[in-house]
C-alpha cells in the first residue's frame, strides 16, 4: 500500500524520536575496528541488558500474576510480534510443552506474516494493524486469555492492532517494549520497558533489544510455570520425555530428588508412566500410582505440598507399627 507523503513523514518522525533508533556514541567508528575490537564493543554494550531488565522486575512480576490467574481459569497466553520480536515469542511458546509438559494450546506465538516469517523476513507484514486484530479474532481469543505484545520500537502497527482488539474483548494485555515508559500511549494492563539504549548498529534491534525481550519472555513463562507447580525445588518435573536426552534427564531428576540409584529411578519412572512428578510423589510418600495422582491433584500440582499433605499419614502409620511391635 502506497502511503501519502504526510504518512511517510509521520513514520519518519516516529522512528527518529525512538531511543532504539538513535546512534550509539560508543560505536561511531566501529567500521574502522579490528574483528576483536568489534566483538569487544558488542560485548560491552550487551552488558547493559541485564541491568535494564532488572529495573523492570516489579512490572514483570505484575505481568506474571496476570498470566498465572489466566492459566488457573483455563485461559491461554498469546505472544504477538513482528520480525525478531515475533520469532522470539514463537520460540518461547514452542519451548513450553517439552520443558513444562504444557498443552501446545496453552502458550502460543503469533507472528506477522505467518509461519513463513519465521525463516524469511517479511518486513511489510508489520505495517497492517487490521491484520493483527484479525489474528486475535481468528485465534478465538476471549476474556479468559492474555495477549503479550512484543515490539522493541513500541510503534509496530500489527502488534498495536492485536493489543487493541484483545483489550476490546476483555483479554489481559501486556506490552514489552524497549523504549521509555513515558512514551507509552497504548492502553494495556502492564507495560514492561527495559531501556537498553541505542544499538551498536543503529536500529538493529535484533541485538540488545532482542536480548532484553528474550530475557523478559523467559521470566514470564518460567515464573508462571513455577507458580503452577511445574518445578520441584529448582528442577523441571513436568517435562515431556520426547527424546532420549529428556528420558535420561527425567531419571536424573528423580535420582536427585529421591536419592535413588539409576536402575531404581528407571523403574520408578516406568511405574509412574513416564511422569517425573508422579514418580517423586510415589517415592516420597510410599503411595501407589493412582493415589499419587490423586494426592498431586489435591495439592494443586505442587510436589512439596503433596509430600507435606501425606507426611502426617506416614508418621501415624509408623507410630501404629511401633505400638504393635511393643
Share of the chain above pLDDT 90, in %: 80
- Beta strand extents in the chain (DSSP E only): 77-81, 107-111, 146-150, 172-176, 190-192, 231-232, 235-236
Lowest mean pLDDT among 102-106, 145-149, 237-241: 237-241
Residues 295, 281: contact at Cβ < 8 Å?
Answer: yes
Handedness of CA 215, 159, 125, 45 (dihedral sign): negative
Residue keyed to cell 516516529: 14
Which three three-digit cell numbers place residue 303?
510436589
Helices (H), 117-156: 129-138
Over residues 170-227, the pLDDT tens digits come to: 999 999 999 999 888 899 999 999 999 999 999 899 999 999 999 999 999 999 999 9
Residue 293 has pLDDT above 50, yes or no: yes
Beta-carbon count within 10 A of 132 CB: 28
Which backbone phi and psi does 242 adopt, to 5 degrees?
-95, 5
Q: Is 78 helix (H, G, I), strand (E, B) or coil?
A: strand
Task: In whole angstroms, give the CA distance from residue 17 to residue 41.
Answer: 24
Active site residue 95: yes
**Confidence (pLDDT) at 183:** 85
Separation in Å, CA 287 to CA 146, 194, 229, 277: 38, 47, 20, 13
Residue 321 has pLDDT above 70, yes or no: no
**Confidence (pLDDT) at 312:** 57
Residues 82, 125: contact at Cβ < 8 Å?
Answer: yes
Residue 24 has pLDDT above 50, yes or no: yes
Question: What's the rounded mean pLDDT across residues 145-154?
Answer: 95
pLDDT band at 2 (very low <50, low <70, confident <90, very high): low
Task: In whole angstroms, give the CA distance from residue 185 to residue 188.
Answer: 9
Question: What's the rounded mean pLDDT across residues 315-319?
Answer: 45
- Per the prediction, the chain carries an average pLDDT of 92
Instruction: Measure the N-to-C terminal CA separation of the chain; round to a whole number of Å.
Output: 89
pLDDT band at 12 (very low <50, low <70, confident <90, very high): confident
Residue 159 has pLDDT above 50, yes or no: yes
Active-site option among 21, 69, 95, 266:
95
Active-site option among 56, 126, 213, 310:
126
Structural domains of the chain ordered from first start: 7-227 (3.40.50.10490), 231-325 (1.10.8.1080)
Task: In whole angstroms, give the CA distance from residue 207 to residue 47.
Answer: 12
Residues in the chain: 326
**Confidence (pLDDT) at 325:** 46
Amino acid at each position: 500500500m502506497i502511503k501519502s507523503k504526510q504518512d511517510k513523514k509521520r513514520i519518519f518522525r516516529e522512528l527518529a524520536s525512538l531511543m532504539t533508533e538513535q546512534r550509539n556514541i560508543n560505536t561511531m567508528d566501529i567500521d574502522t575496528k579490528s574483528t576483536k575490537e568489534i566483538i569487544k564493543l558488542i560485548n560491552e554494550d550487551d552488558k547493559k541488558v541485564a541491568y535494564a531488565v532488572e529495573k523492570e522486575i516489579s512490572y514483570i512480576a505484575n505481568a506474571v500474576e496476570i498470566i498465572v490467574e489466566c492459566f488457573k481459569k483455563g485461559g491461554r497466553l498469546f505472544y504477538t510480534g513482528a520480525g525478531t520480536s515475533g520469532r522470539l515469542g514463537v520460540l518461547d511458546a514452542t519451548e513450553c510443552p517439552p520443558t513444562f509438559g504444557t498443552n501446545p494450546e496453552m502458550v502460543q506465538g503469533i507472528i506477522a506474516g505467518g509461519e513463513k516469517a519465521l525463516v524469511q523476513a517479511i518486513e511489510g507484514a508489520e505495517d497492517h494493524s487490521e491484520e493483527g486484530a484479525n489474528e486475535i479474532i481468528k485465534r478465538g481469543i476471549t476474556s479468559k486469555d492474555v495477549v503479550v505484545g512484543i515490539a522493541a520500537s513500541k510503534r509496530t502497527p500489527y502488534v498495536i492492532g492485536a493489543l487493541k482488539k484483545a483489550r476490546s474483548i476483555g483479554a489481559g494485555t501486556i506490552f514489552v517494549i524497549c523504549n521509555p515508559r513515558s512514551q507509552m500511549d497504548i492502553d494495556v494492563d502492564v507495560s514492561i520497558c527495559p531501556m537498553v539504549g541505542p544499538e551498536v548498529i543503529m536500529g538493529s534491534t535484533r541485538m540488545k533489544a532482542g536480548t532484553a525481550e528474550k530475557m523478559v519472555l523467559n521470566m514470564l513463562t518460567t515464573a508462571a510455570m513455577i507458580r503452577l507447580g511445574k518445578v520441584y525445588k529448582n528442577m523441571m518435573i513436568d517435562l515431556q520425555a520426547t527424546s532420549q536426552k529428556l528420558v535420561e534427564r527425567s531419571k536424573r531428576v528423580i535420582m536427585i530428588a529421591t536419592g535413588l540409584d539409576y536402575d531404581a529411578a528407571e523403574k520408578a519412572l516406568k511405574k509412574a508412566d513416564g511422569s517425573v512428578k508422579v514418580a517423586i510423589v510415589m517415592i516420597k510418600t510410599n503411595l501407589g500410582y493412582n493415589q499419587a495422582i490423586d494426592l498431586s491433584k489435591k495439592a494443586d500440582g505442587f510436589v512439596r505440598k503433596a509430600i507435606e499433605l501425606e507426611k502426617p499419614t506416614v508418621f501415624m502409620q509408623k507410630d501404629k507399627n511401633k505400638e504393635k511391635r511393643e
